[in-house]
Amino acid sequence: MTLRAIIAGTGGYLPELALDNDALAARHGLDTSDAWIRERTGIRRRHIAAPGQMASDLALFACQAALEQAGAMVDEVDGILVATATPDSVFPSTAARLQAKLGMERGFAFDIAAACTGFVYALSVADAMIRVGQARNLLVVGTEVFSRILDWTDRGTCVLFGDGAGAVLLRASDAEDGRGILSCHLHADGRHGDILQVEGLPGQLRMAGREVFRHAVAKLASVVDEALESNGLTKSDVAWLVPHQANLRIIEAMGRKLGLPQDRVVVSVDRHANTSAASIPLALAEATRDGRIARGDLVLMEAIGGGLTWGASLARF
């Protein structure tokens, strides 16, 4: 029997405090405007974690929602993989803290650090574990509190990010119906690490925006082609693009490359901003729960982040 990981449930969570662009500028005394931010990024608002609210707290709500949708109990879960660039602590891992908050007394838990590509990296690891029979049910989570690492005097970066968490429950299946994760494709190039980084603990995010944009378009286009070719598929086979939500211009460029109409590209950056590793599972949860992504749809996920890291995954729902 060939095992494949199906996405059995999705969940997302956003902190209660939502700030639109004008409110953000007023709160931090920024020399910027709603028009300036929208024109360059497509972002209208973002959510900010409450004081004392940690990445594991956000992840808890997302995981509970994913388990509920999948009709699964916590004691069925074999392990937790958390992608985050803003962990609760150096150690224990955010995954271990999440495990405790879920009341899970079995299995394993560990973090993956690949910045905005973290969820795709974690999905790849979890998929491989299920394929070889090491686990049957895994929670894969992206969760971030980027508001803790932003320089609120730098209007070029602080307006771009928000906090949130997204999760999926992966379940082993015999894959007879063709559903599940088809493949994941991961890359990194540490030579470009200094264009998007957080140095030291605690540190603040620094980004060379134009350089990141230049790498993003080329590298994402390449890994999308790689994913399709490895599965003998074409762009016309893709029903939905669920991209990392960094910048509306990059998202629209990838949609055009795939020949997808904009209503087949899941966009949440306007309301969530860039939630790093949480952005894909948050967008995925939104689009599965409102019925846009349906049974049998081929979904392409792609991301690029600090490292540089980038990757893509194809899944049939």
**Residue 216 and residue 160 share a domain:** no
Is the pLDDT at 1 greater than 90? The verdict is no
pLDDT band at 177 (very low <50, low <70, confident <90, very high): confident
The CATH number of whichever domain residue 163 belongs to comes to 3.40.47.10
Our answer to whether residue 21 is catalytic in this structure is no
97 plus 190 within the same structural domain:
no
Q: Which residue, among 302, 291, 317, has the nearest Cα to 123 in the 3D structure?
A: 302
Q: Name the catalytic one among 21, 63, 116, 192.
A: 116
Among 47, 185, 215, 244, the one annotated catalytic: 244
Query: Cβ distance 73 to 67 under 8 Å?
Result: yes
| 184 and 218 co-located in one domain | yes
pLDDT category of residue 61 using cuts at 50, 70 and 90: very high
Same domain as 217, residue 90: no
Q: How confident is the model at residue 2 (pLDDT cuts 50, 70, 90)?
A: confident
* Mean pLDDT, rounded, of the chain: 96
**At residue 274, does pLDDT exceed 90?**
yes
Neighbours of 75 (CB within 10 A): 12
Q: Which domain holds residue 264?
A: 180-316
Any bridge partners for residue 73, and if so which?
A: none
Listed residues 140, 173, 206: the one ending a domain: 173
Residues 240, 268 within the same domain = yes
Residue 150 reports pLDDT greater than 90? yes
174, 201, 283 from 316: Cα distances, Å: 14, 40, 16
Asked if residue 160 and residue 293 are part of one domain, the reply reads no
Is 184 one of the catalytic residues? no
Does one domain contain both 148 and 207?
no
Active site residue 116: yes
Are residues 80 and 40 part of one domain? yes
If you average pLDDT over residues 24-46, what whole number do you get? 95
Q: What is the pLDDT of residues 204-238, one digit of tens each?
A: 999 998 999 999 999 999 999 999 999 999 999 99
Residues 140 and 218 in one domain: no
Q: How many CB atoms lie within 10 A of CB 267?
A: 21
Out of 173, 199, 215, a domain closes at: 173
Question: Among 158, 173, 188, where does a domain finish?
Answer: 173
The count of structural domains within the chain is: 2
Q: What percent of the chain has pLDDT over 90?
A: 95
> What DSSP character marks residue 78?
-
176 pLDDT tier (thresholds 50, 70, 90) = confident
150 in the same domain as 227: no
When pLDDT is averaged across residues 110-118 and rounded to a whole number, the result is: 98
Per-residue pLDDT, averaged over 48-65, amounts to 98
**Quick one: average pLDDT of 154-165?**
96
Whether residue 191 sits in one domain with residue 148: no
Model confidence band, residue 200 (pLDDT cutoffs 50, 70, 90): confident
Looking at the structure, tell me whether residues 149 and 230 fall in a common domain.
no
pLDDT in tens, 68-106: 999 999 999 999 999 999 999 999 999 999 999 999 999
Q: What average pLDDT does the segment 117-145 reach? A: 98
- Does residue 107 carry a pLDDT above 90? yes
